[in-house]
A and B are shown apart, each in its own frame.
Chain A
Amino acid sequence: MVRKHREIGKAGWGYTATTSIIGFIYFFPVLWIILTAFKTRTDALATPPKLFFTPTLDNFTSVFYRASITTGSSQATDMGLYFFNSIFIAGTSVGLALIVGTLAAYAFSRFPLRGNDTYLFIILTTRMMPPIVVIIPIFLMFRLSGLAGTYWGIILLYTAFNIPFSIWLIKSFFDELNPEIEDAARMDGSTEGRVFFGFCIPQILAGLSATFVFGLILTWNEFLFALLLTGVETRTVPVAMARTLGGEVGVDYGLLAAIVTLFLIPIFFVTFLLQNQLLRGVTFGTVKK
């Protein structure tokens, strides 16, 4: 914590060491989960808990291949499909919400409707609402319309969940831009399309990626709706995770930890790559540079 003779807001390797220790303590539960993924069943539930052990990859194998009790041969599980489903569903719905949200946000920012603020408020309320309020009607609706168990059903639902904050976030980025420049471009004969794609979008690219990461984190682990509305073909990983909990022999912590670890990798890397933008996005764009 030596601060003398150094530029304000900068610190050296000593500071890195201190924060790393604190960071590791905070990270410890995650580390423990990752370690558990490499443990045998006995090691996972050893007393006292084991920090050092002979690692095994068995849990990772059994995520994708399950030994059949009757024949003894190994049989592929559907976990690969579930990983694909999770990536496909979360990616598509967050992307879709981003496109639809950007168009709406642009309109709310540049061509206000009558009752603009009321619309925005209603839109935000739908995001704040406890999911349990709508789960029964949505469940009935999906059954009646045949959307239950389809990709489109769950994708549209997640898109709807992501639209409110996408609009709010992206609108605040549009609000930061100077509309006079756009007007000048219009005077010079630019089409509306060129103003939008050529001037506005490039300037808020950072904001768009923040919205993407933020939405992805919130959608990635959604459980309740996925549980009720996905079928065998469209099941996502959080639902599959919960399904490993049941069973006569209790929770298989090693297997669960292996799934958690694998499932953490994609979201971790996306967040790492877009970290700086996330920092900006989380404040609803209220911090101006």
Chain B
Amino acid sequence: MANTAKTRSGFGAWLLDPKRRGALLVAPAITILFVMNIFPLMWSFGLSFFNYKASSLKVPTFKGFDNYGKVLTDERVWERFQTTAIIVSSSVIMQLIIGFLMAMMFAKVFPLRRIVLMLVLTPMMLSFVSVGVFFKLFYEPTFGIVSFVLNFFTEERFVLLGSPEGAILGIVIADAWMWSPFVMLLVLAGLVSVPKYLYEAAEIDRASKWRTFWTITFPYIKSLLLLAVLFRTIETFKLFDVVYIITDGGPGSTTETIAVYLYRTAFQFFKTSQSSALAYIVLFIVIVLTNLYLYAVNRREEEVE
């Protein structure tokens, strides 16, 4: 590229100057991101200060921080945040446990490993819509396979989604089932990166399995586990489709996550501005989490180097 610059003149030469090489290479990516992400973000930031309603033709008026005040003092919003926190934390813990155990299982090389691994990776490739619909069917009291199996043990009619706790459990199981493989991939990558000679040394020293795990394996997967927690927390925070289909926020509004509430405010009640304000509060939380995430990534890099 530098050579062609020498032979050109005028604008071409200016553009291909080695000084501008970095900026030139970054430009297409930044342009697409600006048009499709950053510009809409600024637009909705602007909207959050007006009383715009997508359903009405009235000219919106400037409201300052009214929307933020309204959202932050709304008790329902805090309830939704609590529900989200409960679902996110239980789902992420479950994903960690299952993902970790599965990673330990697949850390060894065994015949047909590639194929068996595909069995546990498949849930990740399903769409949220289909997972929602079919898990709802599995939980169904009359036709559901879960109730059928449980009927061997108890006479009681099994209505999982009838109680708030059950409904939350139902969502958490579906989400954790779908995304534990992701945690597994992360942990597995950590396990694979442990140099083999360390294990050989441990075997010569006759170190117990327990000790080998804590002194050799764990340091290599520690920050990857942290990465998994943060990445999954951020993603689960956005959980929408599965909740919307399995419980629709019910019974009552006990399983309505912040994402579902946001969707309702924006597209069912058409409080466009108010939902933008709430969205910005969510974005703030996500930025804080992203910072933690980056911190974890950097620590991982330092450790490996």
Contacts and interface: CB of A to CB of B under 8 A. Distances in A.
Main secondary structure of the interface of B (DSSP, over half): helix
A283 interface: yes
A135 B265 CA distance: 13
Contacts of B123: 26, 29-30
Given A130-B262, A192-B1, A16 B200 contact: no
A184 interface: no
Given A112-B22, A271-B125, A10 B137 contact: no
B148 interface: yes
Contact of A164 (B33, B35, B177): B33
B25 A279 contact: no
A111 interface: yes
A48 B143 CA distance: 7
B304 A288 contact: yes
Contacts of B135: 29
A8 interface: yes
Given A9-B196, A111-B21, A287-B304, A49 B133 contact: no
B26 A126 contact: no
Contacts of B49: none
Contacts of A129: 37, 41, 283, 286
Interface residues of A, number: 98
Given A107-B22, A191-B2, A137 B286 contact: no
Contacts of A45: 143
B26 A108 contact: yes
A146 to B, nearest CB: 14
A204 interface: no
Given A191-B1, A245-B133, A283-B186, A223 B25 contact: no
B301 A136 contact: no
B206 interface: no
Contact of B272 (A121, A136, A253, A280): A136
B130 A15 contact: no
Contacts of A131: 238
A7 B105 CA distance: 16
Interface in A29-79: 29-30, 32-33, 36, 45-49
A48 B301 CA distance: 53
A45 B106 CA distance: 36
A124 B292 CA distance: 12
Interface in B107-127: 107-114, 116-127
A125 interface: yes
Given A12-B110, A13-B111, A125 B287 contact: yes
Contacts of A279: 185, 188-189, 192
B181 to A, nearest CB: 8
B15 interface: no
B193 A287 contact: yes
Interface residues of B, number: 103
Given A8-B199, A132-B266, A138-B36, A111 B25 contact: yes
B239 to A, nearest CB: 10
Given A130-B286, A192-B1, A287-B190, A268 B125 contact: yes
Contacts of A181: none
A286 B234 CA distance: 19
A10 B138 contact: no
Interface string A134-153: 11111011000000000000
Contacts of A133: 41, 44, 276, 279-280, 282-283
B128 A221 contact: yes
Nearest to A14: B110
Nearest to A117: B294
A24 B121 CA distance: 11
A271 B211 CA distance: 36
B263 interface: yes
B193 A49 contact: no
Contact of A16 (B47, B116, B240): B116
Contacts of A36: 134
7 contacts: A8-B196, A26-B123, A128-B290, A133-B276, A133-B283, A163-B32, A279-B192
Given A100-B28, A138-B36, A217-B125, 9 more contacts: A11-B109, A23-B120, A47-B148, A134-B37, A137-B44, A251-B137, A283-B186, A283-B189, A286-B297
Q: Closest 3 CB pairs between A and B?
A: A111-B22, A160-B36, A107-B25
Interface of A: 8-13, 15-16, 19-20, 22-24, 26-27, 29-30, 32-33, 36, 45-49, 100-101, 103-104, 106-108, 110-113, 119, 121-126, 128-138, 140-141, 156-157, 159-161, 163-164, 167, 191-193, 196, 217, 220-221, 223-224, 238, 241-242, 245, 251, 253, 256-257, 260, 263-264, 267-268, 271-272, 275, 278-280, 282-284, 286-288
